[in-house]
Amino acid sequence: MPLPGADVDRSYEVLVGCGVINQLDEMLRSLIPAPRRVALVSQPSIEVEVSISLPVHRFAVGVGEQFKTIATVQELCEGFADAGLTRGDVVVAVGGGMVTDVAGFAAASYHRGISVVHVPTTLLGMIDAAIGGKTGVNLPQGKNLVGAFWQPSGVICDLDTLATLPEREVRCGNGEMAKYHFLTGDDLAALDLEARVARCVEIKAEVVASDERESGRRAILNYGHTLAHALEIASGHEIAHGEAVSIGLIFAARLAERLGRIDSARVAEHLDVVGCLYGLQTDIPHVGSADELLALMFRDKKAIDGLTFVLDGPNGVELVADIDPAIVRDVLVEALQD
């Protein structure tokens, strides 16, 4: 007997293009049930204007990873309650991944879940954080350890918001974008920015639709992320996520080659995309010894079975568990000597 809620349609519209932010009001008005009010969550530093014809309550979250906390979510939910918001209202998150993650988690939790529409203003937000329903906050013990899967009711990726992104933010977005070049057979390099962002969104949506709760295939979206997370932690977060992913992609390719899963031509393709197309770092910076990085990789969330990586291979990119730590260490030592 199907239980209520077991077959819920969680599809949603994603608009990608220049100027599409002007369609936010129409998107909000077309939601079912139609919201009566909007909780607009953003950051003071984000100068992106939205035009909304419904009554709007504004909420600001602090800038920086230190504000990605349960305390921030509590503050938001208290603000929603003070404003008398109900399940008939909608949260609109305008900002980068930090804003959509925190506002999404507040939306998932308030009144046990109200609608949320994401308006990502960074490349990384558009192609990753705002798509797929992962929301959450950090604990002192680690990043994103508390959260919920909560699909948005719509996403608006207005490429005009990227025009003023600081160079480092662009690098971070490109690091995550480079990953998509290896997840399918698509020639993403042949596409212009709008088509490339749209294709990355489609690839992510297709993977998430096949495994929303990450019981298997969704893990391929973490290609390059195992070493990346270790580098972020070892550097005390001096290396940003997207920057670390570019380095992690090259390391994953070298490890896959050592394990006989891909050949040197495929490693060269990784170097072309990451180093040449996007101009990103490919060498591992000296933020920790091979043993320190190895220990951090053992603590990765994916590592249910020994040392686990997402690796390229004859069947494409897939999760590979229980990899011999000595081989990983050798590849690390060699890479650190380069």
302 touches ligand GLY (CB under 6 A): no
Q: How far is the CB of 222 from ligand GLY (least distance, A)?
A: 6
Q: For residues 156 and 20, give the distance between their C-alpha atoms in angstroms, rounded to a whole number.
A: 7
Question: Is the CB of 218 or the CB of 229 nearer to ligand GLY?
Answer: 218
Question: Is the CB of 40 or the CB of 311 nearer to ligand GLY?
Answer: 311
Question: Is 334 designated active site?
Answer: no
Q: For residues 266 and 69, give the distance between their C-alpha atoms in angstroms, rounded to a whole number.
A: 40
Closest C-alpha among 242, 239, 259, 241 to residue 310: 259
Q: Which bin fits 140, alpha (ψ -120 to 50), beta or left (φ > 0)?
A: alpha
Q: Which residues contact 115 (CB under 8 A, 6 or more apart)?
A: 31, 35, 89, 90, 91, 107, 152, 153
Q: By CB under 6 A, what part of segment 180-239 binds ligand GLY?
A: 218, 221-222
Q: For residues 205 and 210, give the distance between their C-alpha atoms in angstroms, rounded to a whole number.
A: 9
Residue from 37, 68, 118, 134 that binds ligand GLY (CB under 6 A)? Answer: 134
Q: How far is the CB of 166 from ligand GLY (least distance, A)?
A: 22
**Cross-strand partners of 155:** 14, 118
Question: Is 112 designated active site?
Answer: yes
Sign of CA dihedral 164, 169, 174, 177: negative
Q: How far is the CB of 275 from ligand GLY (least distance, A)?
A: 23
Question: Is the CB of 39 or the CB of 252 nearer to ligand GLY?
Answer: 252
Q: Which of 176, 232, 243, 257 is catalytic?
A: 176
Question: Is 292 designated active site?
Answer: no
Question: Is the CB of 115 or the CB of 222 nearer to ligand GLY?
Answer: 222
CB 11 within 8 A of CB 212: no
Question: Is the CB of 68 or the CB of 218 nearer to ligand GLY?
Answer: 218
Q: For residues 310 and 294, give the distance between their C-alpha atoms in angstroms, rounded to a whole number.
A: 15
132 touches ligand GLY (CB under 6 A): yes
Question: Is 214 designated active site?
Answer: yes
Question: Is 206 designated active site?
Answer: no
Question: Is 204 designated active site?
Answer: yes
Q: Which of 37, 118, 171, 204 is catalytic?
A: 204
Task: Report CA-CA distances (Å) from 118 to 25, 39, 214, 269.
Answer: 13, 12, 21, 33
Question: Is 134 designated active site?
Answer: yes
Which among 44-52, 128-136, 287-295, 310-318 is the span making contact with ligand GLY, rule CB under 6 A? 128-136
Q: How far is the CB of 48 from ligand GLY (least distance, A)?
A: 22
Radius of gyration of the chain (CA): 20
Question: Is the CB of 75 or the CB of 128 nearer to ligand GLY?
Answer: 128
Question: Is the CB of 59 or the CB of 180 nearer to ligand GLY?
Answer: 180
Q: Which of 229, 254, 270, 302 is catalytic?
A: 229
Residue from 128, 169, 243, 312 that binds ligand GLY (CB under 6 A)? Answer: 128
Q: How far is the CB of 134 from ligand GLY (least distance, A)?
A: 5
CB 127 within 8 A of CB 188: no
Give the pairing type, strands 154-158 and 13-17: parallel
101 touches ligand GLY (CB under 6 A): no
Q: How far is the CB of 88 from ligand GLY (least distance, A)?
A: 28
Total residues binding ligand GLY (CB under 6 A):
6
CB 54 within 8 A of CB 38: yes
Q: Which residue has the tokens 């390719």?
A: 253
Closest C-alpha among 217, 215, 241 to residue 230: 241
Residues acting as catalytic residues: 112, 134, 176, 204, 214, 218, 222, 225, 229, 241
Which residues lie near ligand GLY (CB under 6 A)?
A: 128, 132, 134, 218, 221-222
